[in-house]
Amino acid sequence: MPSREGKRAERRKRKARGAERIQSGYAKAEERNRAAREALDPLEEGERPRVITVAAVVSAAVAVITMAAWIAGVEVQGDRPEFIQSFAPAFLFGVMAWGLWKARYWAALGFQTLLLFALFASAWGLATQAGSAWQIVLTVALLAGVGTLFWFMVKAMARIQMPSRMPPR
pLDDT one-digit tens code per residue, 100-140: 999 898 999 999 999 999 999 999 988 888 788 998 999 99
Q: Is the pLDDT of residue 2 over 80?
A: no
Say how many domains are in the chain: 1
- State the average pLDDT for the chain: 86
* Residue 167, domain member (yes or no): no
* Residue 111, domain member (yes or no): yes
Q: Higher-confidence residue: 66 or 5?
A: 66
Instruction: State the pTM of this model.
Output: 0.71
Across 18-22, 26-30, 126-130, which has the greatest mean pLDDT?
126-130
* Residue 2, domain member (yes or no): no
CA distance 115 to 156: 15
Per DSSP, 132 falls in state S
What is the mean pLDDT of the segment spanning 73-97? 93
Per DSSP, 129 falls in state T
Predicted confidence band at 162 (pLDDT cuts at 50, 70, 90)?
low
Q: Identify the pLDDT of residue 67.
A: 95
* Residue 6, domain member (yes or no): no
* Residue 103, domain member (yes or no): yes
107: containing domain? 48-161
* Residue 56, domain member (yes or no): yes
* Residue 74, domain member (yes or no): yes
- In DSSP notation, 29-97 reads HHHHHHHHHHHPPPPPTT---HHHHHHHHHHHHHHHHHHHHHHHT--BTTBPPPHHHHHHHHHHHHHHH
* Residue 59, domain member (yes or no): yes
